[in-house]
Chain A
Amino acid sequence: MSANDIARDVRAGDRSARDVLDEHLARIDEREAEIHAFNLVMADEARARAADIDARVARGEDPGPLAGVPIALKDNFCTRGIPTTCSSKILEGWRPPYDATVVERLEAAGAVVVGKTNLDEFAMGSSTENSAFGPTRNPHDTSRVPGGSSGGSAAAVAAGFAAMSFGSDTGGSIRQPAALCGVVGVKPTYGLVSRYGLVAFASSLDQIGPFTSTVADAATSLDVIAGHDPRDTTSIPVAPPDHTKALDDGIDGLRIGVVTEFLQAEGLAPDVAARVREAADALDRAGAKVEETSVPSTIYGLSAYYLIAPAEASSNLARYDGVRYGLRVDAPTTAEMNARTRTAGFGAEVKRRIMLGTYALSAGYYDAYYGKAQRVRTLILRDFERAYESFDLLLGPTAPATAFAFGAKADPLAMYLNDVFTIPSNLAGHPAVSVPFGRGDDGLPVGVQVLAPALAEATMLRAAAALEAAAG
């Protein structure tokens, strides 16, 4: 059942939020031990909250557009008084003293938080294997990864543990797991959704977005979470459009470019490439004008990203020093305490990225690495700008292949290559959505990606809805 259907029924008094919640908790009871989508299931809090929603409906109040909708939050969203781990040992025992803005908005819209979901430690990874608390399994095939870093959030929706979930996307961490788990995943425009209370990974790239089972649910969730927040200095001070209303507009006459560089990428699996071509045909049949187009510098996106994101991470993660929150490993001096705490608290991937970023920023290498990467970012922005002179939207694969087996990408660079089609949108600050579109040769879900210029989510979701309709 979609989130929109749940909210409609709960608002109308046709179903109780408590019944909806119990159905979801029953599915969690049945399969969570196998899937491990959650770091924390908040059954008691959720029951109290659902009872409150039902009481409000009984009093004739409207709890909001997400009335009684069970949602799951990636465990890098601050939740007041509730453990927030980022799937890292270094935040052991930490209970944030405030809620993220997104959490406040979702609760104000009537949503019921059922739990905090697993992720690659500090959102660094593409498989959720880097969690300090063990991996999440793909509900479609538990021998495969769910993708990452928001793998728990993607799996929670795919397994019916929540009707909607939320994650963060720094280089593809919403779209890639959405593709691998067969759900809709949106990375909004940088600055459209407040990041106040999102634990920072790479501040010029991070963005919060939804996982949903339908495109219409994604539009609803964006309408709830988008909008200016004075507590986030990167929040765009404009009123967002009505994403839900725009869905009815169809795609007649939209110009959509299929990105040549994505289709020609070395690692793209033939079955995924075939689905992208079928998606292009489907959009064409639905009234759009579809052509191939080149966005040349996107091929440098991966290299630029793996210099910029670690550089920003090395700075952001300097705060985990054993002084103010989380883990402390005692030592005779503060400097030794800092080092022992960080050594014990961070996993291998986080250490790799901190070192890579520290190196890219260090004296003698700054210009060659970080400086160069920032210039490539300009090239990518320019190339997108040029493409969007001729096209309203762009189309490509989300991930190079369907869900892979645990341990298959043990080499860090092989893992990083998963993000090759999602990274350019982060570097540009643009929105993109992954929509399920058919299956691979192995029977697992394939996601295709619709890319849009800044703040064009409404148009982007129209094309996503057309793909959803064509996929059946």
Chain B
Amino acid sequence: MGSLSRDDVAHVAKLARLELTDDELDLFTSQLAAVLDHAADVEALDLADVPPTAHPYPLRNVFRDDDVRPTLDRDEVLGQAPAAEDGRFRVPPILGEEP
């Protein structure tokens, strides 16, 4: 695996919805490259025959009885939102249209 480039970091930041300054890009590129270099020991292992473990023990789907139970209060939940309107979360335009 080639070492991490500044463009890689800029791309990943965009995917993660983070805005970085030029200085931050330089700093994070070298810091993240160092962590990935350390991970080269893992990268070098031949593990084709080893199955992956996603979880410490096998998880199965958990069903519960289809009973009506208390839920969070809608007004209390919306009261925590930066903006709410008519019982819903309010956000700025999504597609660039005028509100």
Q: Kindly state whether residue A330 has any CB partner on chain B within 8 Å.
A: yes
Task: Enumerate B29-85 residues with CB–CB distance to A below 8 Å.
Answer: 31-32, 34-36, 38-43, 45, 47, 50-57, 59, 62, 64, 72-73, 76-77, 80-83
Chain A contacts of B38 at CB under 8 A? 302-303, 306, 413, 416
In the complex, the answer to whether A314 meets B55 with C-beta atoms within 8 Å is no
Q: Which residue of B lies closest to A322 (CB)?
A: B82
Chain A contacts of B13 at CB under 8 A? 351, 355
In the complex, the answer to whether B28 meets A372 with C-beta atoms within 8 Å is no
Q: Kindly state whether residue A2 has any CB partner on chain B within 8 Å.
A: no
In the complex, the answer to whether A190 meets B57 with C-beta atoms within 8 Å is yes
Give Cα A236 to B81, complex, Å. Answer: 33
CB < 8 Å: which of B35, B55, B62, B93 contacts A416?
B35
Q: Kindly state whether residue A95 has any CB partner on chain B within 8 Å.
A: yes
Interface size class of B (residues with CB under 8 A): 35 or more
Chain A contacts of B12 at CB under 8 A? 355, 358-359, 362
**Closest-CB distance, B70 to chain A (whole angstroms):** 10
In the complex, the answer to whether A346 meets B18 with C-beta atoms within 8 Å is yes
Q: Which residue of B lies closest to A308 (CB)?
A: B54
In the complex, the answer to whether A362 meets B43 with C-beta atoms within 8 Å is no
Q: Kindly state whether residue A300 has any CB partner on chain B within 8 Å.
A: yes
Most buried by B among A314, A321, A373: A373
Known contacts A343-B18, A343-B19, A429-B56; is-contact A333 B35 (Cβ 8 Å): no
Give Cα A183 to B29, complex, Å. Answer: 38
In the complex, the answer to whether B16 meets A354 with C-beta atoms within 8 Å is yes
In the complex, the answer to whether A359 meets B32 with C-beta atoms within 8 Å is yes
Q: Which residue of B lies closest to A377 (CB)?
A: B53
Q: Kindly state whether residue A324 has any CB partner on chain B within 8 Å.
A: yes
**Closest-CB distance, A197 to chain B (whole angstroms):** 12
Chain B contacts of A379 at CB under 8 A? 47, 50
Q: Kindly state whether residue A428 has any CB partner on chain B within 8 Å.
A: yes
Q: Which residue of A lies closest to B48 (CB)?
A: A375
Give Cα A358 to B57, complex, Å. Answer: 25
Chain A contacts of B94 at CB under 8 A? 333-335
CB < 8 Å: which of B50, B55, B81 contacts A375?
B50
Chain A contacts of B57 at CB under 8 A? 190-191, 236, 429, 454
Q: Kindly state whether residue B87 has any CB partner on chain A within 8 Å.
A: no
Give Cα A371 to B57, complex, Å. Answer: 17
Q: Kindly state whether residue A390 has any CB partner on chain B within 8 Å.
A: no
In the complex, the answer to whether A97 meets B52 with C-beta atoms within 8 Å is no
A338-353 to B contact mask, C-beta < 8 Å, 1/0: 1110110010100110
Q: Which residue of A lies closest to B39 (CB)?
A: A303
In the complex, the answer to whether B52 meets A303 with C-beta atoms within 8 Å is no
Chain A contacts of B8 at CB under 8 A? 359
Q: Which residue of B lies closest to A317 (CB)?
A: B16
CB < 8 Å: which of A97, A338, A411 contacts B77?
A97
Give Cα A95 to B55, complex, Å. Answer: 31
Known contacts A190-B56, A230-B64; is-contact A372 B81 (Cβ 8 Å): no
In the complex, the answer to whether B54 meets A374 with C-beta atoms within 8 Å is yes
Task: Enumerate A245-282 residues with CB–CB distance to B below 8 Å.
Answer: none
Q: Which residue of B lies closest to A205 (CB)?
A: B56
Nearest 6 CB-CB pairings of A with B = A429-B56, A374-B52, A328-B82, A375-B47, A377-B53, A303-B39
> Which B residues are closer than 8 A to A by beta carbons?
1, 4, 8-9, 12-13, 15-20, 24, 28, 31-32, 34-36, 38-43, 45, 47, 50-57, 59, 62, 64, 72-73, 76-77, 80-83, 89, 91-94, 96
User: What would 13 more interface pairs be, CB under 8 Å, given A94-B80, A333-B92?
Assistant: A190-B57, A230-B64, A236-B57, A325-B82, A332-B93, A352-B28, A362-B12, A368-B1, A374-B53, A375-B45, A376-B42, A377-B53, A413-B34
25 contacts between A and B (CB under 8 A): A97-B73, A191-B56, A236-B57, A300-B45, A302-B38, A303-B42, A304-B42, A306-B35, A306-B39, A307-B39, A314-B16, A324-B80, A324-B89, A325-B81, A332-B93, A335-B17, A352-B32, A358-B12, A362-B12, A369-B1, A372-B47, A378-B51, A378-B52, A411-B31, A412-B35
